[in-house]
């Protein structure tokens, strides 16, 4: 197992690509993020972003329902970083996949998951290779008290 030294706190979680595991990850990241001085609304936004990205990995990364989704979260320098990775089918066109009307299935809702994730996080980077999987890195910084009032 690869070891990396962090000055802050972190966790790694690997889950089977099952839709019922998305809520568990969402709550786990929210509890972890609560170590920082996020508001309730900010925690809710983090939960939505994480939920959407993990859902995409579960549903679209592994259409056959078999695979592992890896979630790594860390707190360092007043910010939360969450990385969601899969070894699934990958995304053919990342730019197109982040458009509000993008969907891979005709019976699916509008495909706003990555749009919400990008809106709610300070940074969102997607790396994907067809047949090799996708990694989404999200960062949310704690706002200073003066910016909140």
| Catalytic positions | 52, 56, 109
Confidence grade of residue 92 (pLDDT, cut at 50, 70, 90): confident
pLDDT of residue 104: 55
Q: In this model, does residue 124 exceed pLDDT 90? A: yes
Domain-by-domain residue ranges, the chain?
A: 11-142
Domain 11-142 has CATH 3.30.565.10: yes
Query: What pLDDT, on the 0 to 100 scale, is given for residue 65?
Result: 85
- At 145 the pLDDT is 57
Mean per-residue pLDDT, 19-47: 96
Calpha distance 107→36 (Å, rounded):
39
Structure tokens, 115: 């749009």
* Residue 146's pLDDT band (cuts 50, 70, 90): very low
Residue 91 pLDDT: 85
Strand order in the sheet with 68-76: 9-16, 68-76, 79-86, 133-141, 123-129
In this structure, the chain runs to a length of 149
């Amino acid at each position: 197992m690869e070891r990396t030294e962090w000055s802050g706190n972190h966790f790694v979680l690997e889950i089977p690509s099952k839709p019922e595991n998305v809520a568990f990850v969402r709550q786990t990241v929210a509890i972890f993020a609560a170590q920082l001085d996020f508001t309730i609304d900010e925690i809710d936004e983090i939960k939505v972003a994480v939920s959407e990205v993990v859902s995409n990995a579960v549903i679209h990364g592994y259409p056959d329902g078999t695979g592992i989704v890896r979630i790594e979260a860390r707190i360092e320098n007043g910010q939360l970083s969450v990385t969601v990775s899969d070894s699934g089918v990958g995304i053919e066109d990342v730019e197109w996949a982040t458009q509000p009307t993008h969907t891979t299935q005709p019976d699916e809702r509008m495909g706003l998951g990555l749009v919400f994730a990008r809106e709610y996080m300070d940074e969102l980077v997607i790396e994907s290779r067809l047949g090799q999987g996708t990694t989404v890195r999200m960062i949310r910084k704690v706002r200073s008290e003066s910016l909140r009032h």
